[in-house]
Amino acid sequence: MQILARYLAESFVKNLLLALTGLCGLFFFQSLISQVNEYPFSQLLILTLYDLPQMLVMVAPPAAMTATVLTLSSFAKTSELVAMFSIGVSVKQIASIILPLVLVLSCFSLAVQDRVLPSFFEKKTLFYMREIKQRQDFYLDVAKEKIWYRSDSLIYNIRTFDPKLKKIIGLDIYELTPEFTLAGVLHAKEAVYQDSSWVLKEVKRTRFDPKTGYPYNEEVAEQPIALNEKPEDFQMIEREVDRLRIKQLIKFIDLNRRSGIDSKGYEVKLHSRFSLAIIPLVLAMVAIPFSVGHHRQGRLAKDMGIVFAITFVYWMSFSVGLSLGKNGSIPPFVGAWSPTVLFGLFALFKLRFLRNA
């Protein structure tokens, strides 16, 4: 049994690596071609290379499914599957060899999401803003207790931003001189975008006396301010959340809750990271029954067609669940996990009633 297990595992790993390479290559060239007219090729190539870890995470589920079908259907075609069953090897034993390998892939996917993607996302954002948009002064960091955003001679310290209301909650603005020394500080309880301009509420201003250099404070209930940034610029914070590690994302969600901001979208992002990592395991479980159900004849094309159709339905359900979770129609946890749980139960049901199980 050890020799058979090693042979089956080696075949599966080879097919898995082949599937990962092929699907990543397909995504890579599709991304290049779809944006070839938007940026110079050298810049587009760098942007796409920064997306490689994300591509790897996204193709892991279909790669696990494809490797499972390729391995078992090829065994069926050469009658090796029949030989395994004839010596008493059951579907459960075959699954006990393949599924732990897929579980390793799932753990690897979660590790890439938590450890690798944040760094690549940050580098991509900086490259895009500084090299393509020519915003050399750009800086954005949402990993701290507050959000730091730099533009021109101003540095913003934002507690949080509500994209629905186009409102900044808790804003400090540090004005800098050309010599990069502090010229003044504005603190506002909130900043609201009205009539194409920003209005600060409950403002405390700190200025420095030009003669003595000593600071003095002023308080006003409301103050318009000319900022180059629009709400769309601050909405980059929404995308920047994708580069937070899991523990940082949990803190960010807690910060938004304490600020009274709807955090359902961020909660969905958090739960979907774990759910997305489990999808390869679920799809591999779905693929096994369809690959061994008719083991006396090789039906690779038909097996692949059936499983890919199921995968399409799964991804549609997953996307709908995430959307419903973000808009509050269902709890974020349910939105992120319900498709995975339902398809997992379906796979277990199919495995349970296989003739050779």
Rounded mean pLDDT for each run of 10 residues along the chain, 357 residues in total: 86 95 92 81 89 92 91 84 83 90 94 89 81 68 61 74 76 79 83 84 82 78 78 65 81 76 82 91 88 60 75 86 86 90 86 63
Domain end position, chosen among 176, 201, 227: 227
**Same domain, residue pair 7 and 68:** yes
Task: Say how far apart CA 292 and CA 351 lie, in whole Å.
Answer: 10
**Same domain, residue pair 128 and 276:** yes
Helix, strand, coil percent values for the chain (each to nearest 5): 60, 20, 20
Instruction: Tell me if 323 is assigned to some domain.
Output: yes
**If you ran DSSP here, which 8-state letter would residue 152 be given?**
T
pLDDT at 234: 65
Query: Which range marks the domain in which residue 171 is found?
Result: 153-227
Instruction: Tell me if 90 is assigned to some domain.
Output: yes
**Same domain, residue pair 275 and 201:** no
Residues 6 or more apart in contact with residue 112 via CB below 8 angstroms: 53, 56, 57
Does the predicted TM-score (pTM) go above 0.85? no
